[in-house]
Amino acid sequence: MGEVAEADPAVAVGVISSCKAEEGIPHRVACRALGVWESWYYKWRDRPPTEREVRRQHLAEEIEEIFHRSGGTYGSPKVFIELVRRAGKGSTRS
């Protein structure tokens, strides 16, 4: 398996899928370029997301929301403080 897939399989699957959707590059070619088997790609593509992946996606969305609500001025320290404040209120969504 290629280094990219070992690091984060979800990212590798996303890259392969977007190659096909955006650039018209066949899955076979993208898999070969990333050093993964097509069977590996189809296995990972068709599985449901893990709880961790779901939590990370929600966190990423929340970080983007905080950043955009700040007018793009908050850096990581202020975003972190806002996340902690939201968690302290018992809800991760405002």
Give tens-digit pLDDT for 76-92.
Answer: 999 999 999 998 886 54
pLDDT of residue 94: 45
Question: 30 exposed, middle or buried (CB, 10 Å; 0-12, 13-18, 19+)?
Answer: buried
pTM score, whole prediction = 0.54
Is pLDDT at 6 greater than 70 in this prediction?
A: no
CA-based end-to-end distance of the chain: 41
